[in-house]
Structure 1
Amino acid sequence: MGALDRHAAGVAQGRVVEFRPSGSSMVPLIRSRQLVTVSPVDPTKLEVGDIVLVRVAGTTYLHLVSAVNTNTGRVQISNNRGRVNGWTTYARVYGICTAVDGIPRPRSAGKVRKP
């Protein structure tokens, strides 16, 4: 189990988590090692452009929602460089990024799932 899997498990249990992901796939939205805050999410409220902690095809990502299909309850996930990771169900969307280095992410507050 990787670090993102452990954070996803915590969010799935209803906890807000903070961590410092590494990599450059989300630059400039998230730079490597910036502190991110991820809260449980109501996936029915997701929109294109939201950053989510999600599992796609066996891998956990902190990536963008690039498309939403409300009829099937699925979202498409991509990085910020144009690479599409694939589609996944609402059940595999664990959380939404609500802040990066303490700066709130736009449109995220109303999507947090209440315990």
Structure 2
Amino acid sequence: MGMLDAMAARVVAGATVEFKPTGSSMIPLIRSRQSVKVAPVDPSKLQVGDIVLARVHGSVYLHLVSALDVPGGRVQISNNRGQVNGWTGHDRVFGICVSVDGVTRPGAEGKMRTPEGEPQDR
């Protein structure tokens, strides 16, 4: 199990996690080894441009929501360099990035869910 798989498991269990992912696919939004905070998400509230922790084709990514299929209950996941990872269902979108190096991500507020699975009142 990789680091992102472990973080996804904790988020699914209701935890908000902080970790330092590696890689360059999300530059300049997230640089390698920057601290990110990811909270459980209500996938029905996602918008294009949100950064999410999601499983696509068996791999877990911390990538962008690049398109929405609201009737189908799924989102398209891509990196910040134009590569599309694919579509995934709301049940495989685990969390939303709420901050990078302590700076709050625009648009993340109000999209988180409580540990009981209920959307937050924001």
For Structure 1 versus Structure 2, the TM-score category normalised by the shorter chain is over 0.9
**How far apart in 2 are the matches of 1:8 and 1:114?**
15
1:114 is displaced (CA, Å) by: 1.7
How many residues align? The count is 115
1:109 is displaced (CA, Å) by: 1.2
Whichever residue aligns with residue 4 of structure 1, its letter is L
1:76 is displaced (CA, Å) by: 0.1
Q: How high is the TM-score relative to the length of structure 1?
A: 0.99
Which ranges in structure 2 are unaligned for 5 or more consecutive residues?
116-122
1:108 is displaced (CA, Å) by: 0.1
**Aligned residue in 2 for 1:95:** 95
Which ranges in structure 1 are unaligned for 5 or more consecutive residues?
none
**How far apart in 2 are the matches of 1:114 and 1:4?**
21
**How far apart in 2 are the matches of 1:3 and 1:56?**
16
Moved over 2 A (4+): none
1:86 is displaced (CA, Å) by: 0.1
1:74 is displaced (CA, Å) by: 0.3
**How far apart in 2 are the matches of 1:95 and 1:36?**
12
Q: How high is the TM-score relative to the length of structure 2?
A: 0.94
**How far apart in 1 are the matches of 2:109 and 2:91?**
20
